[in-house]
Amino acid sequence: MTSTVRTFWRARLLRIFPGLVACIATVSFVFAPLSALATGRRYAFYDAVLFFLSNLSAGAPGVALRGIPGSLDGLPDPGAWNGPLWTLFWELVCYALAGTVLGVLRPELARVALLVPFLVGSAFVFTLDMGWGPVRTPPDWPLVPLLTFLAGSLTYLYRDRISASQVAVGACAVGVIAIGGAGLVPSLIHIPLCVLLLASSLYLPLASVGSRFDISYGVYIYGWPVQQVLASMGLHTAVPPLFFAAVSLLLVFPVAWLSCRYVEMPARGWFRRWKDPRRAPQLA
């Protein structure tokens, strides 16, 4: 909204790719070989290099490899060292859509330009939720995440028309529960959930969380690999799922902090210095 399309893209790419490159390098040449060595599974450096190079495409369909053969044999998902990476490609598609629309059109027209595909896509997914669709959708079907992204964009663009009162927060919470109970999450959850999360943050004492070190991206890209390392050690069969999830979170938090502090923040600092040396962040 406040920058050119070129500046927007430069900032987005620097936000995504430095952390991504560090993550897939860590998975390929640290996590995978160490876990294979500890458990006796197979690890081939050539396969790891292919995994690394292919995932520089940000999980592009038909390009990115999901796993390193043999390194996760016997696990519930032996073919994926970093399952969520496929969504990064579609996130870039979303940035292309929203960035182009906002860069070309005035805000009033941009609202409509993003609202129309959101409504059409939601209507189509609703037919599938109701069982009227001709085919079942695969788990990595991109339309539902695209609708979620558009919902966030629309919530921002229509923020002057969306109430953030406690009544509105309560209504959205009820709506989210009702939609979940009705089994219509893929088609109808996006706007109510987005408004609920954003509006409720005004009332919860969480404003300082992530204000200096935003580890959300690190949790996103390292969460699955950390869980696969734990699973390769057999933890998933030794403890209840909730305990496994808690341990995974506790271990991924410091990894995500390291990514934020020593990879993501320096990359964004370089961008700010490139634009204006006076705006460079001071990293304590």
Closest by Cα among 283, 278, 274, 236 to 14: 274
In whole angstroms, what separates CA 148 from the centre of its chain? 11
pLDDT for 22: 96
Is the CB of residue 102 less than 8 Å from the CB of residue 1? yes
Closest by Cα among 2, 77, 81 to 35: 81
CA distance 53 to 64: 8
CA distance 168 to 175: 10
- Mean pLDDT per block of 10 residues along the chain (284 residues) reads 81 92 96 93 96 95 93 93 92 88 82 93 92 76 92 92 92 96 94 93 79 91 96 94 96 96 88 59 45
End-to-end CA distance of the chain: 30
Structure tokens at 224: 């699955």
pLDDT for 273: 67
Nearby residues of 200 by Cβ (< 8 Å), 6 or more positions away = 169, 173
Closest by Cα among 275, 217, 214 to 3: 275
How far are the Cα atoms of 111, 180, 265 from residue 168, in angstroms, in the given order? 21, 18, 35
Is the CB of residue 30 less than 8 Å from the CB of residue 85? no
Is the CB of residue 94 less than 8 Å from the CB of residue 150? yes
Structure tokens at 86: 């496929």
Closest by Cα among 254, 222, 262, 214 to 18: 262
pTM of this structure: 0.85
pLDDT for 28: 96
